[in-house]
């Protein structure tokens, strides 16, 4: 059995990625923080893809909770390891910096940037020992271009992009790849409240993307076929920014 952990796996891109990896034969560890019903729905969809999974409820900003959850899993699977990690957990708290609160700044960075470290670091050793691993970080157009009203989100995703490039160089010789996927406007909960009719005028493809389109790219980067691609940030944005 091959195991993949998807953080923020209960909805949106995380759900689509969970389903894609299930199609590829992975047993999916679905991380989420609060929404039990949506997480259960993701698990059901994973099972409908012909695989299986389990729910792994923890806050990516809580190292103690992560240690407990991953430690419990490891004790139950002493001869197995998590070979694919998708760092997808993230939130938006948009505001102009002039009005931004410290909480709005810190929370966004804590989940995306600290969450990346908190979950990735304890899983690295087994990937290196087994000489195989795939880490895919879901970042954003905001982390490349920057977006007004998203100084916090842009900083968080930009930090993950830089960490992706650095970590990729540390682990490449052990056949562990580390890449980032930078979606533009994707039709999920994260883009609710954004005027799609207005924004799609600026997108060369003329539409928002779907979570499934992102998941197809993530699936390739999580597969053995991507073995010579590492340290890359691949945009998926309909041509909005290249």
The candidate with the shortest Cα–Cα distance to 156, out of 216, 205, 107, is: 107
CA–CA distance, 57 with 35 (Å, rounded to integer)? 9
CA–CA distance, 162 with 7 (Å, rounded to integer)? 19
CA–CA distance, 147 with 70 (Å, rounded to integer)? 35
For residue 52, give both structure tokens.
């299986």
Question: Known catalytic residue: 153?
Answer: yes
- In this structure, what DSSP letter does residue 230 have? -
Q: Which H or E run contains 133?
A: strand 133-138
Q: In this structure, are residues 24 and 223 in contact, taking their beta carbons and an 8 Å threshold?
A: yes
Q: Out of 26, 81, 153, 241, which one is annotated catalytic? A: 153
Residue in the block written with tokens 């994707």: 186
Residue 212 CB coordination number (10 Å): 14
Cα separations in angstroms, 139 against 78, 128, 154, 182: 32, 24, 9, 5
Q: Which residues are catalytic?
A: 153
């Amino acid at each position: 059995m091959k195991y993949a952990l998807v953080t923020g796996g209960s909805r949106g891109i995380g759900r689509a990625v969970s389903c894609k990896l299930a199609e590829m034969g992975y047993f999916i560890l679905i991380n989420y923080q609060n929404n039990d019903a949506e997480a259960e729905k993701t698990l059901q969809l994973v099972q409908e893809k012909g695989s299986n999974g389990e729910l792994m409820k923890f806050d990516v900003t809580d190292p103690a909770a992560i240690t407990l959850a991953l430690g419990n899993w490891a004790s139950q699977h002493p001869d197995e390891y998590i070979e694919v990690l998708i760092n997808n957990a993230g939130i938006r708290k948009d505001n102009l910096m002039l009005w931004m609160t410290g909480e709005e700044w810190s929370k966004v960075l804590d989940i995306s940037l600290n969450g990346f470290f908190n979950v990735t670091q304890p899983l690295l050793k087994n990937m290196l020992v087994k000489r195989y691993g795939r880490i895919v970080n879901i970042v954003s157009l905001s982390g490349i271009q920057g977006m007004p009203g998203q100084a916090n989100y842009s900083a968080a995703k930009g930090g993950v992009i830089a960490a992706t490039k650095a970590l990729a160089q540390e682990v490449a010789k052990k056949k562990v790849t580390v890449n980032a996927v930078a979606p533009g406007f994707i039709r999920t909960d994260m883009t609710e409240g954004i005027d799609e009719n207005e924004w799609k005028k600026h997108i060369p493809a003329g539409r928002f993307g779907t979570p499934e389109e992102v998941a197809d790219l993530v699936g390739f980067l999580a597969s053995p076929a991507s073995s010579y691609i590492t340290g890359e940030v691949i945009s998926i944005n309909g041509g909005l920014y290249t």
